[in-house]
Chain A
Amino acid sequence: MKSLKARNNKLSNTKSQLEVLEGELFQTELPTFQTKTAQYGQPGLKPNQLEILQINMGYMCNQVCKHCHVDAGPDRREIMSQSHLQKCLGILQNHNIPTVDLTGGAPEMNPHFRWFVEEAHEIGVKEIIVRSNLTIILANKKYYDLPDFFKKHQVNVVSSLPFYEKKRTDAQRGEGVFDKSIQALKMLNEVGYGQVGSSLQLDLVYNPVGAFLPGSQAELEAEYKRMLKADFNIDFNQLFTITNLPISRFLDYLLASDNYEDYMEKLVEAFNPAALDGLMCKNTLSVDWDGYLYDCDFNQMLALKVDAPKSQHIDNFDLNVLSQREIITNQHCYGCTAGAGSSCQGSLI
């Protein structure tokens, strides 16, 4: 399987995705996200204090997952440069941002990844998160020591494992991914990740393999812990349940499988106003490989830059200007407010 971009799929153009999200369904049958939030007294969302700088280090990945909102894959060549990463370090330091969240693609494939983690550790960023797809650890000899590298720099590892069984995981992430993920989790456990009494944090991410919403995070976490321990003797800390947002390859899947309308109805029906205050766009800024700023990684993939014309790039990063902005929303945002809410740190309620 190739990325939408490599296949010249219509949806690789972000405008086409927005046309779907703003299409007939939301002009006739369902309320737009903005209309919905306005009903609960929040016609426009505003950010709170910035706590997380989420850096997308590039769209290159060793996997091609069917649901990927980044449309990542081996054929993607967008990679963040060292000079941009250096500027991000400056932003983290100058503004005392406690958390840096590294994502991709596979962030480890960025040639400056290790340098950046070392520097971030050196300047005292409190929390360094790496969203690792696990299989990268086994993809090439040069990555085999990543568990030790993560340990040395006290990196929190957050990894997708959409199910604790092979069939469903491989259906979403590709043939053989489950077995390699299990092997990588064992390597992380061996150096101390996810162990009782260890400070090395290993969290897993569950996202539904299909057009349905995630169930209770607590119940699924208990089941994951029981099954992964029983079947593979694997330990981890927390399970984050994340709702699939209707963009990029997941949107392509929804449309191709004739699930789009039903899925959007489910998201709208499950709208939970209590999730609004904890939305990740309120305490996070997302940076793309080219240095542009977004309210979240999903807006990044829709090319919806922050609504702050004077501070849309790391070159002119101005936290005062950014803190005054209004968060850009569209119908995909229903994915973060459905049920117990959804964010990169799991459910919100």
Chain B
Amino acid sequence: MSKDQSYYVPKDLKKFSQISEFEPKLAEKFFDWYGEVFKAGALSEREKSLIALAVAHAVQCPYCIDAYTEESMKKGASEAMMMEAVHISGAIRGGASMVHGVQMMNKAKKLSM
């Protein structure tokens, strides 16, 4: 791979729909479902975008971060709202590690006299 290449190419986000090239049937089902997921329901479109933004940070998908930062802004989310969403992502990731401390403690206590 040359120096100016990267596994993540920003323009590839626009090619997302092209995953149907190798498997159209499943892609169609996926995109139909995807579209439905983000429509307003019990949650507003903006709430869904902010959740997606938090998840994008948790799974560390640069395409998703770009897409859902813009979607959140389109839907009227403020900078503070978006950063709070990122903190939720961080808190859950950090919390997920820390809560395993209980498992560590359980094991340590079991092994100890």
Interface residues of A (CB under 8 A from B): 163, 165, 167-168, 206, 208, 210, 212-216, 219-220, 223-224, 265
Contact = CB atoms under 8 A, between A and B. Distances in A.
7 contacts: A210-B73, A212-B73, A212-B74, A215-B76, A219-B46, A220-B75, A223-B46
Contacts of A167: 78-79
A215 B47 CA distance: 13
In the complex, which of the residues B44, B45, B70, B76 has the most CB atoms of chain A within 10 Å of its own CB atom?
B76
Contacts of A213: 74
Contacts of B44: 219
A30 B46 CA distance: 30
User: Which label, helix, strand, loop or mixed, suits the secondary structure of the B interface?
Assistant: helix
A165 B78 contact: yes
A168 B78 contact: yes
Interface residues on B, range: 10 to 19
A215 B78 contact: no
B70 A212 contact: yes
Given A215-B74, A223-B76, 12 more contacts: A163-B78, A168-B78, A210-B73, A212-B70, A212-B73, A215-B46, A215-B75, A216-B45, A220-B75, A220-B76, A223-B46, A265-B14
B40 interface: yes
B46 to A, nearest CB: 7
Contacts of A214: 74
Nearest to B46: A219
Contact of B73 (A208, A216, A223, A224): A208
Interface string B20-44: 0000000000000000000010001
Contacts of B45: 215-216, 219
Contacts of B70: 212
Interface in B73-91: 73-76, 78-79
A261 to B, nearest CB: 11
Contacts of B78: 163, 165, 167-168
